[in-house]
């Protein structure tokens, strides 16, 4: 399959809004990424991964299965994903958060883990559970919550970009836009009358860690 064929949205029906949710992976095109969520309560966070993949025009599917509640379904799906040609797996889970690690134990596909915020421990439980994998079974662990889910989508795209030039182009353009947005915001600040000391003649920035710094 050519890159152009494989880099497509899962569904071109513009009447649908939000990420496309295909619980059993029934799609006409091959998904390159699978987003696996452990509970429907994870969706408000994990849809950030779906949104960025859509923005980058990368075909994905979203699957609901739990490491603890449906271990058999989880194993079966991993085999199915490998067979259908999925190349990167993104898994989000909260609390004991075993899903990304269990997936990584079953496949050699790269696994990106997203710790979901929890009420009891604010997602620190999820983060530590996902990041502390034993040697030999890596999970690329993102930040807790929505930023982590978004970055999971971008990291998946970056992995795919090594093979698909079209995805590399999309990422370059995405990065350019990030830079443009910062420049525009900086320009916006210029007009607000704040004093910009760094532009004054003779301005020296404060020391950042020389030997004479009393904090050292």
Task: List interacting residues with ligand RP5 (CB under 6 A).
Answer: 38-39, 41-42, 66, 93-95, 116
Q: How far is the CB of 39 from ligand RP5 (least distance, A)?
A: 3
Cα–Cα distance for residue pair 7/53, rounded to 1 Å: 10
Task: Give the shortest CB-113-to-ligand RP5 separation in angstroms.
Answer: 11
Q: What is the side-by-side order of every strand in the sheet holding 33-37?
A: 60-64, 33-37, 88-94, 111-116, 140-141
Nearer of residues 103 and 157 to ligand RP5, judged by Cβ = 103
In angstroms, rounded to a whole number, what is the distance separating the alpha carbons of residues 93 and 137? Answer: 17
Whether 156 and 88 have beta carbons less than 8 Å apart is answered as yes
Quick count: other Cβ atoms within 10 Å of Cβ 43? Answer: 17
SS3 168: helix
Residue with smaller CB distance to ligand RP5, 55 or 75: 75
Give me the residue whose beta carbon is nearest to ligand RP5: 94
Q: Which is nearer to ligand RP5, 18 or 44 (CB)?
A: 44
DSSP for 176-211, written as a single string: HHHHHHHHHHHHHHHTTT---GGGSTT--PPP-S-T
**Residue (71 or 165) nearer to ligand RP5, CB:** 71
Q: Give the residue with the Cβ less far from ligand RP5, 27 or 143.
A: 143
Q: C-beta of 94: minimal distance to ligand RP5 in Å?
A: 3
Closest approach, Cβ 136 to ligand RP5, in A, equals 24
Cα distance between residue 43 and residue 139, in whole Å: 20
CB of 127 to ligand RP5, least distance (A): 12
């Amino acid at each position: 399959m050519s890159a152009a064929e494989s880099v497509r949205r899962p569904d071109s029906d513009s009447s649908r809004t939000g990420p496309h949710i295909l619980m059993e992976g029934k799609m006409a095109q091959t998904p390159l990424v699978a987003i696996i969520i452990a509970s429907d309560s994870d969706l408000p966070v994990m849809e950030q991964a779906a949104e960025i993949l859509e923005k980058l025009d990368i075909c994905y599917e979203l699957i609901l299965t739990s490491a603890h509640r449906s271990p058999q379904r989880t194993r079966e799906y991993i085999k199915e994903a490998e067979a259908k040609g999925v190349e990167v797996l993104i898994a989000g889970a909260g609390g004991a958060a075993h899903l990304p690690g269990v997936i990584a134990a079953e496949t050699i596909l790269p696994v990106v883990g997203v710790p979901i915020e929890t009420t009891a421990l604010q997602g620190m439980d999820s983060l530590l559970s996902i990041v502390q994998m034993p040697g030999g079974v890596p999970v690329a662990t993102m930040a807790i919550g929505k930023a982590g889910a978004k970055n999971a989508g971008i990291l998946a795209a970056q992995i795919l970009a090594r093979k698909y030039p079209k995805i590399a182009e999309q990422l370059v353009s995405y990065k350019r836009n990030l830079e443009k947005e910062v420049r525009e915001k900086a320009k916006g600040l210029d007009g607000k009358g704040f004093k910009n000391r760094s532009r004054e003649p003779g301005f020296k920035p404060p020391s950042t860690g020389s030997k004479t710094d009393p904090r050292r």
